[in-house]
Amino acid sequence: MVIKVFKVSTKEMWTFYNKKSFRKYVISNVLCAPRSNATIDELMKYLPVEDYCRVK
């Protein structure tokens, strides 16, 4: 599964090839640890809505 996230403020596209690497990215950006079994949609909710969007 490929997860693509666009960061609006820096105009960067981030590509993650599994949920584990995306979870690590979320933890490093919001400085809190979501549940280990959180879905991708739940992980996206941790990122600020005004700065990130998921590309489908």
Q: In this predicted model, what pLDDT tens digit does every residue of 21-39 receive, in sequence order?
A: 999 999 999 988 999 999 9
Q: How many domains does the chain have?
A: 1
Residue 1 is predicted with a pLDDT of 83
For 12, the domain range is 3-55
Q: What pTM value is reported for the model?
A: 0.87
Residue 44 is predicted with a pLDDT of 94
Residue 35 is predicted with a pLDDT of 92
Average pLDDT, the chain: 93
**Which stretch of 3-7, 16-20, 30-34 has the lowest confidence by average pLDDT?**
30-34
Q: Report the residue count for the chain.
A: 56
Instruction: Tell which residue, 13, 32, 51, has the closest CA to residue 2.
Output: 13
Are the C-beta atoms of residues 8 and 29 closer than 8 Å to each other? no
Neighbour count for residue 45 (Cβ, 10 Å) = 11
